[in-house]
Chain A
Amino acid sequence: MTVVDLGLPRRLVDVTLDGETVSVPEGSTILDACTAVGTSIPTLCYGDTLRPANACRVCMVEVEGSRTLVPSCSRKVTEGMVVRTDSERTRHSRKLVLELLGSSADLSTTPHVAEWMEQYQAKPERFGPPDPPADDHDERPPGEHEEPDGTTAATVQQPAKVDNDLYVRDYGKCILCYKCVDACGEQWQNTFAIAVAGRGFDARISTEFANPLPDSECVYCGNCIEVCPTGALSFKKEFDMRAEGSWDESRQQQTTTVCTFCGVGCNLTLHTQDNEIVRVTSPHDHSVGHGNLCIKGRFGWEHMQDSRRPAEESTEPTTGQA
């Protein structure tokens, strides 16, 4: 997205991006500057409605004078900064980060990642065949691990957590971007149902003591699904359709409308396939909700297409029926 909030007048700062001088408002990030001139930089943990977590390291760029590469999503530009977004060093870093992610998590539902893998010639499989799924990830203590023999590559593969009717947590796809935790916590929802638990490679998103979601503080606003970049969090509907092979985004339509449940005026984008709602998102640039919804807006649509409905209704006369 290229929208830069103008707000109060801000001083312009001159920076050099890949040899080209660009003027951007003071306080912009390097990513903002890149976006403004049309330079594309891959991002995963960056969220347009969240504070940068700086975790995925896929957006790293080279800044002259800096010992290490810097995250473009959070580093603010300074006058005279010289940035290289496509040097050998940044390409190497991006390639390796993609390989490390691809070798440890299932990225099959992460948008754009396949193109990036190709662009950077990333080959996650070179670390060896992936470990099979394991169901003990939630119990792994910090500071110790089973010694590997190197014949397989450790992964976060694990059975999906299906413990409620509304959404599924498939943490075999989780890259630990922190976005769901931030959306659930003080940046948006203030529910604090989930946090990062554990440490190192065994760090994971978890409720307290990994209790099932229905026993947790979750209020099912689904704002975590809204920000999840990998599809680790998905509507139960989408999860089931993917499982049965009927999920097909090319056949889906998006229609943005206003939520009818209350007077706040949140916008809903209904994703429909074959005239059925399959997913609900909310526009991030909408001034009311900034992409956030509550349980009603996010999930309160099943009644519109409940398969039991005709049968139930047939027991009582309804006007308008032929």
Chain B
Amino acid sequence: MDLHYLDATPTEAERAAVDALLGSPEGGNGLDPGTVHGHGDAHNGGHPNGSGPFPAHGAAHGNGSAHGNGTRDGRDMLLPALHAVHDRIGWISQGALNHICRQLSVPPADAYGVASFYALFALRPRPSRVLHVCTDLACKANGSSELCDRLEQSFGPAGTAVDGMTWQHSPCLGACERAPAALAFEAGDPARTQLLAPAGTDEIEESARSGPADADREPPARESVPQAGDPELRLLHRVGVVDPDSLDDYRAHGGYIALRNALRAGPAEVIKQVTDAKLMGRGGAAFPTGRKWDSTASQPVRPHYLVCNADESEPGTFKDRILMEGDPFSVIESMTIAGFATGCAKGYLYIRGEYPRATRRLANAIAQARERGFLGRSIMGHEGVDFDIEIRRGAGAYICGEETALFNSIEGYRGEPRSKPPLPVEEGLFGKPTVVNNVETLVNVPLILIEGGEAYARIGTERSTGTRLFCLSGTVARPGLYEVPFGTTLRELLDLAGGVPEERTLRAVLLGGAAGGFVRPGELDLPLTMEGAQEAGTTLGSGVVLVFDDTVNLPAMLLRIASFFRDESCGQCVPCRVGTVRQEEALQRMAGGKAPPDGDDLALLREVGQVMRDSSICGLGQTAWNAVESAIDRLGTLSKGGPA
């Protein structure tokens, strides 16, 4: 293959940013395009996430032959390289892209296709300081429009470049418990990011002028967990209690006991315990974790990969962020146990790009664990037990939370979902057997290995075992992350969070996120179990409980959901690519009272919804109509004579 590149050359700063990650093409220890699999060493100290070197990188990737395993010429470093340039410069020029392409042997058109897929990357000159203002559901219900108004007054409409800064609207930033939220970014060496939440109008203007401050000036994770310190807590019991930056403190609070138990018991026993616990995935699909692990472990093809899906982007979801910020070592320990059980030597932790603090804490946790022998070779002194973790940052694409899109994203391709079959346990990351687990799912595992699968299964209900994290936000008195046993009713959960503010009336609850469904005030006795939600025609999804009182404009929420799915569709398949557009257009007509072009817009919506559900490639398109449908059918939103 004879690749051609552009004539464009990078600036010194662009070249330095790329070479710091990939190594200089001239330098001895760098990433020579001809011997690209050396890139495991090239990260030394240069990785923006600090995930550092991985001793077994060559083995995990190379499998003895340079091209025999589905990875192509270090292409999987494309997304980190794009991040490196974007972090340093604030946008990606033709020269910078070309330099990356030469370094990684990637065709420029392909790399452009990848870079232009992600909302956080700019491909035209943009000021180095960018303020992303969340205008998604929870923030919309909590005054994000006032923030936008102020910014518009002071700096012009979104997207205007003024005084070295610009601001733009953002989908859910995952800080709904502290809505309204904004993410401040300033490119440089190093780049700085800060989550402003809750963001006041003065504060946001100040941040727009002066740039982000130190991200750890954000409120501690504890403040997002109203139950913090409650001895009943299981998944959250260390959040707000331990020092998230200290391995010793983690161990002083029971950390790494589970891994020791796992190493003693052996992989088969670990899988048996997880199966006995009836643990189900917490990312949304609720697949039995034990079965997933067993299928991966028994695949004869090697290597196996573990992926921790921390691309939490479902509007209204912030549980994984709080786990990662408040108890990062438990995520690392849990991944290590999962890797051990399923025969993986390498795990990827794919975290959304909008979570700077969680990323830093995890990077620190990985570095400390590696230093102390909890990651790397011969973990905890067990000869032959090797496992290490690499962090990969997303760059603004909800779809990358879909597991096969996530694989493509890690591999350096566009984050488009793959057709299933084959399933990830057969052909996943780099075409190898891969187990993908959500953050919350994983942090259940240490509990199981400490108390035993059967004891674990006694919590919750017969079919939905254990406890569940729920993200309460919207118009609720005490928003935050709550942990309750499965089977708790929605009413009990709302009571725990103080219900809607005084003198207001509950209008609706969005359960499960934008891909979930609305619940009426009369249905609050719904037991929060997988099966209970299913029976009620909704889903627990990622644990979103978005509360709307009578001050909230529900049609505006539906329009936002429709707009969200249109923005986040990858564009691969017709039902989703065009269907999400037609859905938004029809809803706009209904909300604006405009005459439908030809008959009945509601019927049109149903027909479009049906084809999205039936014929889209992945869950995004298949569920893009769920919330809208439930609002129309259950709440009467937008229907004639129904509440406006």
Distance between Cα atoms of A125 and B599 in the complex (Å): 12
Q: Is B566 in contact with A217, judged by CB distance below 8 angstroms?
A: no
Residue B346, interface by CB 8 Å: no
Contact with B along A57-76 (1 / 0, CB 8 A): 11010000000110100100
Which residues of B101-138 have CB atoms within 8 Å of chain A's CB atoms? 107-113, 116-119, 122-124
List the interface of chain A (C-beta within 8 A of B).
52, 54-58, 60, 68-69, 71, 74, 89, 92-93, 96-97, 100-101, 103-104, 123, 125-129, 139, 141-145, 147-151, 153-154, 175-176, 185, 190, 192-203, 206-209, 211, 216-217
Query: With A129-B597, A149-B594, A196-B414 as given contacts, are A141 and B577 in contact (CB-CB < 8 Å)?
Result: no
Bound state CA distance, A58 and B574, in angstroms? 9
Q: Is B109 a contact partner of A207 (Cβ separation < 8 A)?
A: yes
A123 to B126, CA, bound (A): 43
Contact A148 B585 (CB under 8 A): yes
A sample of 7 more A-B contacts (CB under 8 A), given A93-B614, A176-B577, A199-B571, is A57-B574, A101-B578, A127-B604, A128-B598, A150-B585, A192-B3, A200-B580
| A287 CA / B458 CA spacing, docked (Å) | 65
- Contacting chain A: which of B371-379, B521-529, B605-613? B605-613
Residue of B97, B571, B599 near A203 (CB, 8 A) is B571
Counting from the closest, the 8 A-B pairs by CB-CB distance are A143-B119, A203-B571, A192-B107, A195-B113, A150-B589, A96-B611, A150-B588, A208-B108
Interface pair A144/B570, CB less than 8 Å apart: no
Residue total for B at the interface (Cβ-Cβ under 8 A): 67
State which of A96, A142, A148 has its C-beta within 8 Å of the C-beta of B584. Answer: A148
- Enumerate 22 A-B pairs (CB-CB under 8 Å) in ascending A order: A54-B419, A55-B574, A68-B614, A68-B616, A92-B610, A93-B610, A100-B582, A104-B578, A127-B582, A139-B124, A142-B116, A142-B567, A143-B171, A144-B169, A154-B581, A194-B109, A195-B107, A199-B116, A200-B570, A200-B571, A202-B571, A217-B109
Among B6, B116, B588, the residue within 8 A (CB) of A147 is B588
Q: Is the CB of B571 within 8 A of A176?
A: yes
CA distance A322 to B261 in the complex (A): 99
A211: chain B residues at CB < 8 Å are: 6
Contact B585 A93 (CB under 8 A): no
A200 to B77, CA, bound (A): 24
- Assuming A153-B582, A193-B109, A208-B97, is B419 touching A71 (CB within 8 A)? yes
A97 — which chain B residues lie within 8 A by C-beta? Answer: 574-575, 611, 615
Cross-chain contact B592 with A199 (CB below 8 angstroms): no
Q: Known contacts being A60-B614, A193-B109, is A199 close to B575, with CB within 8 Å?
A: no
Interface: B622 (CB within 8 A): yes
**Does the CB pair B566–A200 fall under 8 Å?**
yes
Docked CA distance A197–B588 (Å): 28
What separation, in Å, do the CA atoms of A133 and B578 have in the docked complex?
17
In the bound complex, CA of A89 to CA of B3 (Å): 46
Is residue B339 contacting chain A, with contact meaning CB distance below 8 A? no
Cβ contacts under 8 Å, A149 to chain B: 588-589, 592, 594
A to B contact number (C-beta, < 8 Å): 206
* A124 CB to nearest B CB, Å: 10
Residues of the B chain whose Cβ atoms lie less than 8 Å from the Cβ of A123: 598
Contacting residue for A100 out of B111, B571, B579, B614, CB 8 A: B579
Bound Cα distance from A145 to B94, whole angstroms: 24
Q: Mark B546-590, 1 if CB is under 8 A from A, else 0.
A: 000000000000000001001111111111011111101111110
B168 at the interface (CB under 8 A from A): yes
| B1 located at the interface, meaning its Cβ lies under 8 Å from any Cβ of chain A in the complex | yes
Which of B94, B124, B571, B584 touches A198 (beta carbons < 8 Å)?
B571
Is A206 in contact with B113, judged by CB distance below 8 angstroms? Answer: yes
- The CA of A52 and the CA of B568, in the complex, are separated in Å by 24
**In this assembly, does B504 line the interface, its C-beta being within 8 Å of a C-beta of chain A?**
no
Closest to A129 in B: B597
- Shortest CB–CB separation between residue B588 and chain A, in angstroms? 4
Residues of B within 8 A of A56 (CB): 573-574
Which of B169, B598, B599 counts the most A-chain CB atoms under 10 A from its CB? B598
Looking at the complex, which one of B567, B604, B613 makes contact with A145 (CB distance below 8 Å)?
B567
Q: Is the CB of A195 within 8 A of B112?
A: yes
Q: Which of A93, A103, A147, A206 contacts B615 (CB 8 A)?
A: A93
Q: How far is the CB of B343 from chain A (nearest CB, A)?
A: 27
Contact status A208-B112, CB under 8 Å: yes
How distant is A45 from chain B, measured CB to nearest CB, in Å? 9
CB within 8 Å for A197 and B622 given contacts A69-B614, A128-B585: no
Instruction: Give every chain A residue within 8 A of B615 (Cβ-Cβ).
Output: 57, 60, 68-69, 93, 96-97
Verify B610–A197 contact, CB threshold 8 A: no
Q: B4, B110, B568, B608: which contacts A200 (Cβ < 8 A)?
A: B568
Q: Which residues of B contact A200 (CB under 8 A)?
A: 566-571, 577, 580
- Whether B171 pairs with A206 at a CB distance below 8 angstroms is no
Whether B617 is near chain A, meaning CB under 8 Å from some CB there, is: yes
Looking at the complex, which one of B119, B566, B572, B587 makes contact with A55 (CB distance below 8 Å)?
B572
Against A, the Cβ 8 Å flags (1 = close, 0 = not) of B1-41 are: 11110100000000000000000000000000000000000
Interface residues of B in 295-349 (CB under 8 A from A): none
Task: Chain A residues near B572: list those with CB within 8 A.
Answer: 55, 176, 203
* Minimum distance in angstroms from B396 CB to a CB of chain A: 6
Q: Is A209's CB under 8 angstroms from B419's CB?
A: no
By a CB distance below 8 angstroms, the chain B residues around A209 are 94, 97, 112, 123
Complex Cα–Cα for A149 and B559 (A):
11
Assess whether B397 is interfacial by the CB under 8 Å rule: yes
The answer to whether A201 and B571 touch (CB under 8 A), given A142-B116, A153-B582, A196-B414, is yes
Q: How far is the CA of A195 from the CA of B116 in the complex (A)?
A: 11
Least distance between A60 CB and chain B CB atoms (Å): 5
Q: Which residues of B contact A57 (CB under 8 A)?
A: 573-575, 615-617
Select one of B118, B122, B579, B597 contacting A126, CB under 8 A.
B597
Q: Which residues of A contact B614 (CB under 8 A)?
A: 60, 68-69, 89, 92-93
